Amino acid sequence: MHEIISHDLVIFGAGLAGIRAAIEAAREAKGDIDIAVVTKNQMMRAHSVAAEGGTAAVMRMDKGDSYELHAWDTVKGSDFLADQDVVDRFVRIIPDEILQLDHWGIPWTRLDDGKIAQRPFGGHSYPRAVLAADKTGFFELQTLYDTLTKYEHVTHYNEFFITAIIVEGGEFRGLTAINMTTGKFVFIRAKGLIIASGGGGTLFGFTTYSQTVTGDGMALAYRAGLPLEDMEFLQFHPTGLVPSGILMTEACRGEGGYLLNNKGERFMEQYAPEKKELAPRDMVSRSEIMEIEKGNGFKGPNGLDYIHLDLRHLGADKINDRLPLIREVCLEYNDIDPIHEPIPCRPVAHYSMGGVETDIDGATRIPGIWVAGEAACVSLHGANRLGSNSTAECLVWGKITGALAAQYCKKVSTLPAFSEQTFIKEQQRVLDLLRNSNGTENLYQLRRELRTCMDMNMGVFRNKDGMEEALKIVRELQVRYKNIQVQDKALAYNTNLIHALELQNLLDLAEVTVTGGLVRTESRGAHARRDFAVRDDENWLKHTLAFYSAKGPELSYKPVNITTWKPVERKY
């Protein structure tokens, strides 16, 4: 049982990047193209709502900020792996996006004079993180969703799980999906596609990510023939709440919070004497782990030893005004009131700097396919993303890709032809997984083993032996995956089947991530190797590209685009 539906443009994902792309496509098309937004969740339940602290933008040139300063901070923060033409374009567009959201009705936090407020963030030389209390992503997504409802010719497909991106002869044909509410298999034909499906941080057990964020778009693009870029660079945020991993936003430190060891010392003064708690995330995370290894941490459950994030000196008024969500989460999950008690935190898997390779416009090697947001590697973040640049990236490349995809779809007169056999083959693969997966392996146990493996071997610090062990385990899990059991044989709302498909995606991404890290014999940004402890610009100032093959990822490299700043030693 299947269905074929057709649209001009399909947007895969409904977070900040996806909805911003849909709005811009609708504005650009002026009713001339038919747009679909497809999400495996209900719209407004995208992980973007979990973004807390702010969105970086130059809004105070008269007070000392500048495009050049934001660009320099981003390039330096990236450990010089960011493409500098991309960074320059980014910093010049994002201020207009902040004002656009303001016009669309977002409740930005305001100063007493009515101007939009900004707060300090790690690695930034100026307090440029625009905020809506500590619920910035939620308010941004709500504002975009409300705006999108004003446009006709946009169809929303909630709870559709994409199983494949169909490419024939090097050309995009459409998507295959499961309508989760009915179990019906669907082929969505389209002229163009924007992938905006988010990152893959649930590769790890201790993570800030929603459990629905399983890297689907990245894995499907990879299997469709598009290379993944710089996947070894996975960011660890310094302050994940122990034991849940829930994000304690960088705004806690931006508003003046301290990191303390078990001696009550602000230990970041030793590691980054100028920036202290507001050094870039890779540096703060490494510093925390080193403090814990020295015995200066606190014993936590299941090996999750931690340090303290201390907000007490900020006072109740400031915490309730600027960090209300943080207080709410601490009370709800840990029975801790940060007005009176420090918060137990440690580094936590948080963001994929890598993703599907794109050019500066978000376009891929396959005509008609663009990627935006965390699923993309437009090479903005390099080896380490600065906090508050991620929501900004989603807005900027949501706008760019939405406009370009709409223009493309208006020019292409007819839907591309497709082979029914390709569609039927993918449907049969999914049905076989549903009906014939009666093996002895528990897919949830495999998922736990994958996450444990990544936590142990691909964390804040890495080495050759650990990564070789990780690659061995991942490949063993790929073999064992062939013998999984899908117990639920129903069609409608079969989450057991969806979890099986997600696990396949995670295993592919894990193999790419570990392979790229093992080969990259240097330390740069979030990829910190204890056996190769220094940055090696002579050999490794280049981007990793991973292409799919039946034998595993095939790696190649491309140069970093350096237009303004040569790499220098990174000090804070």
User: Is 308 in contact with 298 (CB distance < 8 Å)?
Assistant: yes
Buried/exposed 311-335: b ≥16 CB within 10 Å, e otherwise? bbebeeeebeebbebbbebbeeebe
CB-based contacts of 445, cutoff 8 Å, min separation 6: none
Please give the full DSSP string across 162-181, using - where no structure is assigned.
Answer: EEEEEEETTEEEEEEEEETT
Collapsing DSSP states into helix, strand and coil, what is residue 256? coil
- Per-residue buried b or exposed e for 485-496, using 16+ beta carbons within 10 Å of the residue's own CB: ebeeeebeebeb
Q: Identify any residues that bridge with 492 across adjacent strands, giving them in sequence order.
A: none
Q: How far apart are CA 381 and CA 421, in angstroms?
A: 40
Q: For residues 364 and 359, what is the distance between their CA atoms, to the nearest angstrom?
A: 7
Q: Pick the closest to residue 246 from 292, 209, 199, 212 (CA basis).
A: 209
- Tell me, yes or no, if 27 is annotated catalytic: no
DSSP element (H, E) containing 250: none
Reply yes or no on whether 340 is catalytic: no
How far is C-alpha 331 from the chain's CA centre? 27
366 by Cβ neighbours in 10 Å (0-12 / 13-18 / 19+) ranks as middle
Q: Of 253, 281, 308, 350, which is the active-site residue? A: 253
The full length of the chain comes to 572
* Angstrom distance (rounded) from CA 361 to CA 481: 37
Residue 385's CB is within 10 A of a number of other CB atoms, namely 29
Token code pair at residue 228 = 């993944």
Distance CA 358, CA 2 (A): 32
CB atoms within 10 A of CB 461: 16
Which residue among 7, 237, 308, 385 is the active-site one?
A: 237
Is residue 211 packed enough to be buried (19+ CB in 10 Å), middle (13-18) or exposed (0-12)? exposed
User: Which residues have a catalytic role annotated?
Assistant: 237, 253
